[in-house]
Amino acid sequence: ACSSRVGLSQMHPMWQEPLEVPGGERQSPIDISLRKSVFDPNLKPLVTQYDPRTCQQIWNNGYSFLVEYDDTTDKSTLRGGPLEDQFRLCQFHFHWGENNSWGSEHTVDRHLYPAELHLVHWNADKYALFEEAVVAENGLAVIGVFLKVGKTHEGLQKLVDTLPAVRHKDSVVEFTKFDPSCLLPESTNEYWTYAGSLTTPPLTEAVTWIIMKQPIEVSHDQLAVFRSLLFTSAEEEVQKSMVNNFRVQQPLKGRTVRSSFT
């Protein structure tokens, strides 16, 4: 699975120099300013082809819960949009707040959503492993989807029902036959895209971000189950609720956010 080693401490020997690590010029997340984003007519529709049979497990890594996919073949892929290459889905996860007033990492004209979904893909045309791509130029493509409180999301409920099994840090549970395209909004033609970074360590500046304009709706109770997870492992005396697992917004530093729509 691609994300169990995501908190890379040592850099893998690379034929290509690893990128400058953070403090850099292209950190994430950011605020997306509607009036500053630039319509790019050359942006293509996104093409996602996800095979639910590649879904493997859910893992509480002590910061979020990751739904991990088998990324050893080209069965679940992303291409099109701003991308030149084909990317493989390796995991998806969420960021959320302690209440419905905040929780997303990106904002739109400073509007905060209660949560944000990240579908993490790596460039399988250029790299052999996620671990190589995560420290490389043009290594990752992450689709961000905002969550807002509304009607129950039927597709999400299967995931929500398994979360109690991964309540503690380092717990894992088998999770199969889940098609993550059910978590994408109806319209995937409307998105913003910009050059950024991972929002968790190693914070490397390897990510082409693709943020969907249309949020998905989930129920208040579904979000409450996210907040029942814990940052802490079963052994620790003091249990801490897994909430507010988002990074603070980073300076744009002259970057342009492009939009696929006017």
Contacts with Zn ion by CB under 5 A lie at 118
According to the binding rule CB under 6 A, does residue 118 interact with ligand FBT?
A: yes
DSSP element (H, E) containing 133: helix 130-133
Site for ligand FBT, residues 170 to 189, rule: CB under 6 A = none
Residue 67 Cα distances to 74, 159, 167, 225, angstroms: 18, 9, 14, 16
CB of 203 to ligand FBT, least distance (A): 8
Q: Rounded to an integer, what distance in angstroms lies between the CA atom of residue 95 and that of residue 114?
A: 9
CA angle 144–11–244, rounded 5-degree value: 35
Q: Are 121 and 88 in contact (CB under 8 A)?
A: yes
According to the binding rule CB under 6 A, does residue 1 interact with ligand FBT?
A: no
CB of 119 to Zn ion, least distance (A): 9
Residue of 78, 198, 212, 252 that binds ligand FBT (CB under 6 A)? 198
Q: Which does 119 bind (CB under 5 to 8 A by kind): Zn ion, ligand FBT, none?
A: none
CB of 21 to ligand FBT, least distance (A): 14
Judged by CB, which is closer to Zn ion: 50, or 92?
92
According to the binding rule CB under 6 A, does residue 200 interact with ligand FBT?
A: yes
Q: Which does 3 bind (CB under 5 to 8 A by kind): ligand FBT, Zn ion, none?
A: ligand FBT
According to the binding rule CB under 6 A, does residue 58 interact with ligand FBT?
A: no
CB of 61 to ligand FBT, least distance (A): 9
Judged by CB, which is closer to ligand FBT: 11, or 157?
11
Q: Which does 89 bind (CB under 5 to 8 A by kind): Zn ion, ligand FBT, none?
A: none
- 156 secondary structure, DSSP code: H
130 burial (CB, 10 Å; 0-12 / 13-18 / 19+) is: buried
Q: Rounded to an integer, what distance in angstroms lies between the CA atom of residue 236 and that of residue 120?
A: 30
Q: Rounded to an integer, what distance in angstroms lies between the CA atom of residue 29 and that of residue 197?
A: 8
Q: What is the dihedral of CA 243, 211, 178, 122, to 10 degrees?
A: -100
Residue of 120, 159, 160, 184 that binds ligand FBT (CB under 6 A)? 120
Judged by CB, which is closer to ligand FBT: 8, or 173?
8
According to the binding rule CB under 6 A, does residue 6 interact with ligand FBT?
A: yes
Judged by CB, which is closer to ligand FBT: 5, or 158?
5
Residue of 60, 199, 232, 245 that binds ligand FBT (CB under 6 A)? 199
Q: Rounded to an integer, what distance in angstroms lies between the CA atom of residue 224 and that of residue 1?
A: 28
User: Which residues have CB under 8 Å from 91's CB, separation 6+?
Assistant: 1, 2, 3, 66, 67, 68, 69, 120
Positions that interact with ligand FBT (CB under 6 A): 3, 6, 118, 120, 140, 142, 198-200, 207
